[in-house]
Chain A
Amino acid sequence: MVPFAGYDMPVQYPTGILTEHKHTRAAAGLFDVSHMGQVKMTGADVAKALETLVPGDIQALDVGKMRYTVFTNDQAGILDDFMVNKRDRDLFIVFNAGCKDNDLAHARANLKGVEIEYLESHALLALQGPAAVEVLGRLNSVVQAMSFGMGATLALGKYEAFVTRSGYTGEDGFEISVANDQAEEFARWLLSQPEVKPIGLGARDSLRLEAGLALYGHELDLTTTPVEAGLNWTISKRRREEGGFPGAAIVQQQLKDGPARKLTGIQPEGRAPAREGTEILNSETGEKIGVVTSGGFGPSVDAPIAIGYVATKYAAPDTPLSLMVRGKALPAKTCKLPFITKRYAK
Chain B
Amino acid sequence: MTTRYSKDHEWIRLEGDVATVGISDYAQSQLGDVVFVDLPAKGKTVDAGAEVAVVESVKAASEVYAPAGGEVVETNQAIVDDPSLVNRAAQTDGWFVKLKLSNKAELDALMDQAAYDAYLKTL
**Among A11-19, A41-49, A52-60, A124-132, which stretch is in contact with chain B?**
A11-19
Q: What's the Cα separation between A16 and B59 when bound, in Å?
A: 10
Which of A11, A19, A271, A326 is close to B59, meaning CB atoms less than 8 Å apart? A11
Asked whether, in the complex, the Cβ of A271 is within 8 Å of the Cβ of B61, the reply is no
Which of B32, B36, B56 is close to A12, meaning CB atoms less than 8 Å apart? B32
Asked whether, in the complex, the Cβ of B36 is within 8 Å of the Cβ of A275, the reply is no
Q: What's the Cα separation between A275 and B32 when bound, in Å?
A: 16
Q: At the interface, yes or no: B8 with Cβ under 8 Å from chain A? A: no
Could you say which residues of chain B place their CB within 8 Å of the CB of A17?
Answer: 32-33, 57-59
Q: At the interface, yes or no: B118 with Cβ under 8 Å from chain A? A: no
Contact code string B4-40 (vs A, CB < 8 Å = 1, else 0):
0000000000000000000000000000110110100
Q: What's the Cα separation between A137 and B82 when bound, in Å?
A: 40
Asked whether, in the complex, the Cβ of A18 is within 8 Å of the Cβ of B58, the reply is yes
Q: What's the Cα separation between A299 and B36 when bound, in Å?
A: 12
Q: At the interface, yes or no: B111 with Cβ under 8 Å from chain A? A: no
Taking the closest CB of chain B, its distance from the CB of A209, in whole angstroms, is 10
Could you say which residues of chain A place their CB within 8 Å of the CB of B38?
Answer: 272, 326
Q: How large is the interface on B (under 10, 10 to 19, 20 to 34, 35 or more residues)?
A: 10 to 19
Which of A18, A19, A21, A271 is close to B36, meaning CB atoms less than 8 Å apart? A271
A contacts with B, residue count (CB < 8 A): 18
Asked whether, in the complex, the Cβ of A297 is within 8 Å of the Cβ of B32, the reply is no
Q: At the interface, yes or no: A259 with Cβ under 8 Å from chain B? A: no
Q: At the interface, yes or no: B109 with Cβ under 8 Å from chain A? A: no
Asked whether, in the complex, the Cβ of B36 is within 8 Å of the Cβ of A206, the reply is no
Could you say which residues of chain B place their CB within 8 Å of the CB of A64?
Answer: none
Asked whether, in the complex, the Cβ of A297 is within 8 Å of the Cβ of B54, the reply is no
Q: What's the Cα separation between A16 and B57 when bound, in Å?
A: 10
If over half of B's interface residues share one DSSP class (helix, strand or loop), that class is named, otherwise mixed; here it is strand
Q: At the interface, yes or no: B89 with Cβ under 8 Å from chain A? A: no
Q: What's the Cα separation between A272 and B57 when bound, in Å?
A: 11
Asked whether, in the complex, the Cβ of B33 is within 8 Å of the Cβ of A18, the reply is yes
Contact code string B90-101 (vs A, CB < 8 Å = 1, else 0):
000000000000
Q: What's the Cα separation between A297 and B61 when bound, in Å?
A: 11
Within residues 44 to 83 of chain B, which ones have a CB less than 8 A from any CB in chain A? 54, 56-61
Taking the closest CB of chain A, its distance from the CB of B58, in whole angstroms, is 4
Which of A19, A202, A275, A297 is close to B35, meaning CB atoms less than 8 Å apart? A297
Asked whether, in the complex, the Cβ of B33 is within 8 Å of the Cβ of A272, the reply is no
Contact code string A241-275 (vs B, CB < 8 Å = 1, else 0):
00000000000000000000000000000011101
Asked whether, in the complex, the Cβ of B60 is within 8 Å of the Cβ of A297, the reply is no
Could you say which residues of chain B place their CB within 8 Å of the CB of A212?
Answer: none
Q: At the interface, yes or no: A304 with Cβ under 8 Å from chain B? A: yes
Q: What's the Cα separation between A319 and B61 when bound, in Å?
A: 26
Could you say which residues of chain A place their CB within 8 Å of the CB of B60?
Answer: 275
Taking the closest CB of chain A, its distance from the CB of B63, in whole angstroms, is 9
Q: What's the Cα separation between A326 and B58 when bound, in Å?
A: 17
Q: At the interface, yes or no: A296 with Cβ under 8 Å from chain B? A: yes
Q: Which residue of A lies closest to B58 (CB)?
A: A17
Interface centre among A206, A296, A304 (most CB of B within 10 A): A296
Could you say which residues of chain B place their CB within 8 Å of the CB of A11?
Answer: 59
Which of A271, A272, A299 is close to B58, meaning CB atoms less than 8 Å apart? A299
Taking the closest CB of chain B, its distance from the CB of A217, in whole angstroms, is 17
Asked whether, in the complex, the Cβ of A296 is within 8 Å of the Cβ of B54, the reply is no
Could you say which residues of chain B place their CB within 8 Å of the CB of A271?
Answer: 35-36
Could you say which residues of chain B place their CB within 8 Å of the CB of A21?
Answer: 58
* Also in contact, A273 and B54, with CB within 8 A (given A202-B32, A297-B35, A304-B36): no
Taking the closest CB of chain B, its distance from the CB of A27, in whole angstroms, is 18
* Also in contact, A16 and B32, with CB within 8 A (given A272-B56, A326-B54): yes
Contact sample, A vs B, 19 pairs, CB 8 Å cutoff: A12-B59, A17-B32, A17-B57, A18-B32, A202-B58, A202-B59, A271-B35, A272-B56, A273-B36, A273-B56, A275-B60, A296-B58, A296-B59, A297-B35, A297-B36, A297-B58, A299-B33, A299-B58, A326-B38
With contacts A16-B58, A273-B35 known, what are 17 further pairs, Cβ within 8 A?
Answer: A16-B32, A16-B33, A17-B32, A17-B58, A17-B59, A18-B33, A18-B35, A202-B58, A202-B59, A206-B58, A272-B36, A272-B56, A273-B56, A275-B61, A296-B58, A297-B35, A326-B38
List 10 A-B pairs, minimum CB-CB distance, nearest first.
A18-B33, A297-B35, A17-B58, A16-B32, A271-B36, A297-B58, A16-B33, A273-B56, A272-B36, A202-B59
